[in-house]
C-alpha cells in the first residue's frame, strides 16, 4: 500500500458507514488535510477483504451507522487496520452515545476530494 496521506479526522462528520459484502465504506466530511486546520476535505475510505470488524469489542453486522449523525473523536489508520471512536447524535431524541470500532482487512483505499466537489 502507498503511504497514507496526512489527514486529521477529529471532529469530522460521518456521512456513511456500512459493510458491503467483504468491504466496508466509511465516508467523512470536514476532514483536516492541512496542519493549520484551514483545509477541509471529503474523504472516502474503503476497507477491502475484511478479516474482522468489531463494535465495542463485539462482532459487527452490516449497518454500522448507529444514529443519524456521527462525529469522529479519534480515527487511527495503519496499512491494514483502523481504530475509530464515534460520538453518535440523535438530535430528535436529544441524546448522544459513543461506540468504538476496530477493522482488520487486507488493504485500505482512500479518496480525498475538496469539500465543494460534486458527487
- Domain count within the chain: 1
54-74 residue pLDDT tens: 999 998 877 799 999 999 999
79-119 residue pLDDT tens: 899 999 999 999 999 999 999 999 999 999 999 987 765 55
Residue 118 lies in a domain: no
Q: What is the pLDDT of residue 33?
A: 82
Residue 119 lies in a domain: no
**Residue predicted with more confidence, 2 or 30:** 30
Residue 36 lies in a domain: yes
Q: What is the pLDDT of residue 59?
A: 86
With a cut of 80, say whether residue 34 has pLDDT above it: no
Residue 88 lies in a domain: yes
Q: What is the pLDDT of residue 35?
A: 57
Residue 85 lies in a domain: yes
**DSSP secondary structure of 61-105:** -SB---SSEEEEEEEEE-SSEEEEEEEEEEGGGTEEEEEEEEEEE
The rounded mean pLDDT for the chain is: 88
Is the pTM value of this prediction over 0.85?
yes
User: 93: domain range?
Assistant: 13-113
Q: How far apart are the C-alpha atoms of 92 and 32, rounded to whole Å? A: 28
Amino acid at each position: 500500500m502507498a503511504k497514507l496521506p496526512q489527514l486529521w479526522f477529529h471532529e469530522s462528520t460521518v456521512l456513511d458507514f456500512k459493510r458491503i459484502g467483504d468491504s466496508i465504506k466509511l465516508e467523512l466530511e470536514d476532514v483536516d488535510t492541512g496542519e493549520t486546520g484551514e483545509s477541509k476535505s471529503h474523504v472516502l475510505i474503503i476497507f477491502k477483504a475484511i478479516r474482522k470488524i468489531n463494535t465495542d469489542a463485539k462482532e459487527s453486522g452490516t449497518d454500522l451507522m448507529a444514529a443519524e449523525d456521527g462525529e469522529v473523536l479519534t480515527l487511527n489508520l495503519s496499512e491494514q487496520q483502523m481504530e475509530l471512536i464515534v460520538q453518535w447524535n440523535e438530535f430528535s431524541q436529544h441524546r448522544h452515545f459513543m461506540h468504538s470500532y476496530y477493522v482488520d482487512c487486507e488493504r485500505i483505499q482512500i479518496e480525498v476530494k475538496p469539500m465543494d466537489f460534486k458527487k
